[in-house]
Amino acid sequence: MLKRLILLVLCLLFARSFASDVIPSHVSASNPDTLGLYQAEDEIILYKKPQDDAQIIQSIHWSCGGIVPETVEAAELFVVYMPEKNLAFLAVSDENDNWVEVIYNNAAGDKGWIKKSDPYRFSSWINFFNMYGNKYGLNLLGGVPAAASDLHSAPDEFSQVVGRLNHPQKINLNAIRGNWALVSVYDMDRVPKTGYIRWRADNGVKYLFPAMK
């Protein structure tokens, strides 16, 4: 416990010098069909199969001082990487009671298994959005289709369009309904708008992401 506290203090002091945060800012069609995210411990051991005696693919250590081995890029490994907050999340493609299959190279789609140290480290996408979206609000990702900026009266693409996101300053998450989010929005004109907007497409591509900071 004391070791983790010391490490966290050092991260707060030196994170700006050593590491940059990774948070999605643009729509990505890479690996969209995932179950959720796994909050990684500082030592990530990747197995070829969900078995204790399976071949170890790679062992990775991360902290505010960087990632070891140095050939591993934060943006390729993690979906979210905020070392000064001791937070790092990997995309999960499969899971069972004791293991999660994660994508450890976002560009290549390479996968490996991690043994769960705590079942609560895995969050479905809906649980992740509810937790961090409610806390921080949401960001509209760059490159979304034009229709993804429409606010609807109901969580249905055929429902009435009641508004549109135009350079939103703040998007508050009120509730998740399937692939739709009920949001309250403040645009540059400071006129409040409320309605449903797609937070992800039917194929899993994300249009919104928690504005973590």
The predicted pLDDT at position 14 comes to 45
CB-CB contact of 88 with 28 (8 Å): no
The predicted pLDDT at position 11 comes to 53
Answer yes or no: do 52 and 135 share one domain: no
Per-residue pLDDT of the chain (213 residues; tens, 9 = 90+): 544 544 444 454 444 444 589 999 999 877 888 999 999 999 999 999 999 999 999 999 999 889 999 999 999 999 999 999 999 999 999 999 999 999 999 999 999 999 999 989 999 999 999 999 999 999 999 999 999 999 999 999 999 999 988 888 889 999 999 999 999 998 877 788 999 999 999 999 999 999 998
The predicted pLDDT at position 7 comes to 47
Joined together, the tokens standing for residue 97 give: 């009671």
Give the start-end residues of each E strand in the chain. 36-39, 43-47, 56-63, 66-68, 80-82, 87-95, 99-105, 110-115, 122-124, 138-140, 150-152, 161-164, 170-177, 180-186, 192-198, 208-210
The residue out of 117, 147, 167 marking a domain boundary is 117
When divided into structural domains, the chain yields a total of 2
Q: Which domain holds residue 183?
A: 127-210
What distance in Å separates the CA atoms of residue 207 and residue 159, rounded to the nearest whole number? 19
In terms of phi and psi (left: phi > 0; alpha: psi -120 to 50; beta: otherwise), the region of 31 is left
Answer yes or no: do 175 and 99 share one domain: no
The predicted pLDDT at position 8 comes to 47
The predicted pLDDT at position 19 comes to 54
Residue 122 inside a domain? The answer is no
The length of the chain in residues reads: 213
The residue out of 64, 98, 117 marking a domain boundary is 117
Answer yes or no: do 112 and 135 share one domain: no
Answer yes or no: do 189 and 137 share one domain: yes
Answer yes or no: do 145 and 172 share one domain: yes
Query: What letter does residue 42 receive in the DSSP assignment?
Result: S
Answer yes or no: do 107 and 156 share one domain: no
Query: What letter represents residue 103's amino acid?
Result: I
At residue 55, the 3 state secondary structure works out as: coil
The predicted pLDDT at position 15 comes to 42
